[in-house]
Chain A
Amino acid sequence: MARIVLDGEPIEIATDGASLLGVLRDQGRSVPSLCYHPRLGPLETCDTCLTLVDGKLVRACATALRDGMRIETRDPTVLSAREAAIARVTQDHEFACTICDRNNGDCELHNLAVATGVTHQDFRPKPYPIDDSNPFYSYNPSQCILCGRCVEACQDVVVNEVLHIDWTLNPPRVVWDHGTPIDRSSCVSCGTCATICPVDAMMEKSMRGRAGHFSDLAPVTRDRLVRWTKSASPDLTPLWVTSELEAATRSASIRRTKTVCTFCGVGCSFEVWTRGREVLKVLPKPESPANGIASCVKGKFGYEFVNSPNRLTEPLLRKGHEFVTADWEEALDRVAARFREIRERHGPDSIAVIATCTGTDEEAYLTQKFARQVLGTNNVDNCARYCQAPATTGLFRTVGMGADAGTIDDIERAELVMTIGSNAAEAHPVLAARVKRAQKLRGTKILVVDPRRHELAERADLFLSPRPGTDLVLLNAVARYILDQGWEDRTFIRDRTVNFEKFRDALERYTLDFAVTVTGLSREEIVRMAEMFHEARSACILWAMGVTQHQNGSDTSTAICNLLLVTGNFGRPATGGYPLRGHCNVQGVSDFGCLPTFLPGYERWDDPIARQRVEKEWGTPLPTKKGLTSTEIVDAILDGRIHALYILGEDKLLADADEAKVAKAFEKIDFLVVQDLFLTRTAQHADVVLPVAASLEKEGTFVSTERRLQRLYPAFPPLGHARTDGDIVIDLARRLGFAWEYPGAKEVLDEVARVAPIFAGASFARLEGFSSLLWPIAADGTDTPTLHLDRFHFPDGKAHFFPVDWSEPTATGPEFDLELDNGRLLEHFHWGNLTYETGGIRHKVPGTFVELSPSLAAERGVREGEWVRLVSSTGSLRARAHITERVRDRTLFLTLHDRGESAVNRLTSDVRDGPTTTPDYKGARVRLERIEPAGPIESPVAVSNPRGKPREPQRGVRVDAKWARPDYRFPGS
């Protein structure tokens, strides 16, 4: 409690220590500010919030409320200082609001000028040209007010560390790296700078010349108009009026719609601005629960696919050796008739369904209901089979619930963050930014285990690179070393776990010597890792495909959980295991029941109570035979058990290991239906192709990696005659004799709430706008940001140690002498079906490549940009070589963003993780053959690509350098 005197009146404020700026606004005082943003904190560059405290002018944004303060906001000294500060800011920005693309009612300088009664300005243009080089956004120095928000965001929010203000320049300006043009700099085009800019200095190019009615004037014309207008009368008042009118007319045609990102599983939410079908910009909002103001290049700029001419807009039917267009009636009649025929002839389990992980939760629920109720089979699975099923198994074995233990906030608050088999800075960039920020601002320790020296590895306090496939040995050895040292959390083990003795005994052989031999790491490295866990009061482990896509993916995931349990890092805030989900709704499609062994809400398919609940709701019995996984479905096609396959939004031909085997299955199957945005490699094999709506075109919810349910709303209708996955499934169910009635996605979620206890309190009303809920959600709407706080999800409420042992992975012949790693790049998403449609992304990363180390390149005589052939026991491919120290020795890394001759699954084999049947994608071994160049060669990494360019880290905007300039005067001094 603070007792203060505000403008002569004594009052009491509950929050002692709060920001004075916030307090004053709460008290109804109008305090201007420009550089301050709630997600950035005080930057102290604009001086417009000056306030008199105890007789001294201070910046309210950077002043904490203290008991006994005497505060004056209406004193002439305050008003005159603020006026001076605003006048100085307006020297840096020319008001031409009526012809400005930012004139949408949210230009903070315009609003401040109007609110404070600015009528004149002394504009001083900066002698720097506009930097228009980046394909996604541009920077106009002459409109830049040097508030430093973009710098703070780049340096300390997304921690890409590219931008800074060069305060030594006259006049100062924002620079990239050392004054490099944006497109040639280390900028990763996340767009956060454009999001956070309070004016039009940093702006999305999709807005430039398109948002306003009069904003597409040629620059020279614009300048003349502005000059003459101002020479006629310098009074800005008419400008305020006309620009307010112009902004109002814009609002009639610009629609702002809340959506959730369609790429990775972090769950970034945005407001998307559209005019008709044109996407003007994607705007992260401070209230976006997972990302705040942050975004990555795909989420911010990767939406050109939505209006691509390559999109499917009509159903297609195979007719001989070509596709012909059909209307929906004909196409769906065909599908229904063939499903009915095959089911009658071969039984319900001769049909299988692959659900889409880019559809909504409600569509996922309908898809599994279609499989179970309409077709009568549990043969329904989704792409989690390719990625996180082993992680889920590890979590189910040990803590009883196969999902992230907490939130991204928990990760950010941990003292130690370990990532293993995860290139989060590229695959989950907004989440990785929180880890980088925690390290930079709070000293969080980062421990990275990975074969590749990616960005987080570069930043790590400890980077370990064990021999591929031996992570389990490292984890067990660290657990054993911790026990040997007596560093385990005995209280936690005693009170909250079972099976500890069995676990300890199973670690017998995991000595340091054994681990050194198997992993190739040094004793010191392994000990250091154990020490880091010992020293941290809270630790999180993040993992991804580098763990799960191995023959022992489930066991290694289990070993991760065991290590967390032995150190007491589960069941309290800022701890736990976090498999990072790779698709926007791969979490949701699993949560809502598109798994062969789980009903919605992770109720086992053979649990009689759960079955009864679902059967009562649906009014029909559930199928009684265990379903097949996605990879087993391919086997079953080849051995004649599966005759029809219905694939929603999955490019299975490219996604499964061993492409040739899947192609063979698709050529054998009797009937294949694919619904997708594009004629994908998988759709090319279909008998019927159904065009679907993109996420921007539909309503529903997604679940992010945090277990966070969020709503998305349609920004515009589906393109052409495309329909939503949900509408198509409902229509098919009706044709097959089930009178499904769902007026909208809302009613579907209501039904889910009735059948799945973990979603009991989920509803559209509770998820309105940017509101979100993390499951389990109780019937009263109480959600669960952190799991396991009171009990683990076993009947006894305890966590279960689950001993796991390592065995040497199945080897291929000695002629395959190189390890082949593979994974994502920041800019692309999977096979690039979506991301290659965006011109700017193609400009940054035009194609795929294989990384090899300088030593290997020298040994094999391979030069940068040359084509090489990679040959495995399964197949071969061609790819262009990129020589980099990110990989070492005899490990290669192939980016997986190719649909043709460099597609990675030409090389992978169908060896699988036992419990989950997830393929061993990361265990491929290959030989490398150099292809003699036929002509000139060039690097596959474009000059505009940010990779390999040094970052320029600094803390914040360095306002002290501004204050040290000879031309700086503190207003009022």
Chain B
Amino acid sequence: MAKAISTRPLPPANGSRRARTGASVSEALDASADSLRNLLELIRLLDEKGFLRLGTDVLRSEDRMISVLTERVDPADVRALVRSVQRLGAVLGPVEPEAARWLGRRLPNALQGARQGEAEPPLAALDILKALSEPDVNRGVRMVLGFLRGIGRDPDR
């Protein structure tokens, strides 16, 4: 005799699901223990220097800041600010959209690499030398140096 039951238990934030989730997180923590310790050190430093608070405040008040920026600030002042941004645009301006796409395709990799690098142990000078032997790192460093060289070059010279 199977009479209808129209209610079901709440989806488990309890019980088995939590246990399984906990187990998988625990495994991940073990595998990344060294990286996490380094990450925590980085976080401590960022906090000491005030960067964390600043970043958190900016993120939390993003809407408000933009609203204030656009509502309260004298457009003339903002124009100066925008011009500064436009100067960056002027640097980027001659960049062909194709080149932007080229850069765009690499950005996700770069960001992912940055996230991974953040979690790795602190670098000693020897580590940097070792890293330079990796082809991807070496190519990246060459590109960055080239970029710095280019941006530092006086266009009027």
Contact = CB atoms under 8 A, between A and B. Distances in A.
Nearest to A671: B2
B108 A325 contact: no
Nearest to A252: B108
A681 B100 contact: no
A228 interface: yes
A221 B16 CA distance: 47
B4 A314 contact: no
Q: Of residues B71, B90, B104, which shows the largest number of chain A Cβ atoms within 10 Å of its Cβ?
A: B104
A15 interface: no
B117 interface: no
Contact of B2 (A667, A681, A721): A667
B64 to A, nearest CB: 10
Given A224-B70, A248-B101, A684 B6 contact: yes
A241 B89 contact: yes
Interface in A449-466: none
Contacts of A218: 63, 67
A720 B21 CA distance: 11
Contacts of B92: 238, 241-242
B78 interface: yes
Contact of A249 (B75, B79, B93, B108): B108
Contacts of A247: 104
Interface in B89-109: 89-90, 92-93, 95, 97, 100-101, 103-105, 107-108
B69 to A, nearest CB: 9
B61 interface: no
A807 interface: no
Interface string A218-247: 101100110011011101011011101101
A323 interface: yes
A238 B101 CA distance: 13
A323 B9 contact: yes
B82 A245 contact: no
B123 interface: no
Given A244-B104, A245-B100, A321 B70 contact: no
B22 to A, nearest CB: 14
Contacts of B16: 314, 325, 327
A228 B80 CA distance: 10
A221 B6 contact: no
Q: Of residues B5, B90, B93, which shows the largest number of chain A Cβ atoms within 10 Å of its Cβ?
A: B5
Contacts of B104: 244-245, 247-249, 251
A667 B3 contact: yes
Q: Of residues B1, B83, B97, which shows the largest number of chain A Cβ atoms within 10 Å of its Cβ?
A: B97
Given A235-B93, A245-B103, A324 B4 contact: no
Given A252-B108, A685-B2, A240 B100 contact: yes
Interface string A715-755: 00000110000000000000000000000000000000000
B9 A221 contact: no
Given A232-B79, A242-B92, A684 B97 contact: no
A910 interface: no
A130 interface: no
B17 interface: yes
Interface in A886-923: none
B8 interface: yes
A771 B104 CA distance: 30
A322 B7 contact: yes
A235 B11 CA distance: 54
Contacts of A249: 104, 107-108, 111
Interface string A688-710: 01000000000000000000000
A668 B1 contact: yes
Given A232-B79, A232-B83, A233-B89, A244 B8 contact: no
Q: Of residues A252, A668, A669, A672, which shows the largest number of chain B Cβ atoms within 10 Å of its Cβ?
A: A252
A366 interface: no
Interface in A246-294: 247-249, 251-252
B15 interface: yes
B152 interface: no
B32 interface: no
B97 A314 contact: no
B8 A323 contact: yes
B108 to A, nearest CB: 4
Contacts of A721: 17
A252 B97 CA distance: 19
Contacts of B111: 249, 252
A190 interface: no
Contacts of A667: 1-3
Contacts of A235: 89, 93
B68 to A, nearest CB: 10
A313 interface: yes
B75 A228 contact: yes
A225 B81 CA distance: 12
Contacts of B90: 238
Contacts of A819: none
Interface string B129-151: 00000000000000000000000
Interface of A: 114, 217-218, 220-221, 224-225, 228-229, 231-233, 235, 237-238, 240-242, 244-245, 247-249, 251-252, 309, 312-314, 316, 318, 321-325, 327, 663, 666-669, 672, 679, 681, 684-687, 689, 720-721
Give 8 closest A-B pairs by Cβ, nearest first. A248-B104, A238-B89, A224-B70, A252-B108, A232-B82, A684-B4, A244-B100, A241-B100
13 contacts: A241-B95, A241-B97, A244-B104, A248-B100, A309-B11, A312-B8, A314-B11, A314-B16, A322-B7, A322-B9, A667-B2, A685-B4, A720-B17
Given A242-B89, A321-B5, 17 more contacts: A114-B97, A221-B66, A232-B79, A241-B97, A312-B8, A313-B17, A314-B11, A314-B17, A318-B5, A323-B7, A325-B15, A667-B2, A667-B3, A684-B4, A684-B6, A720-B17, A721-B17
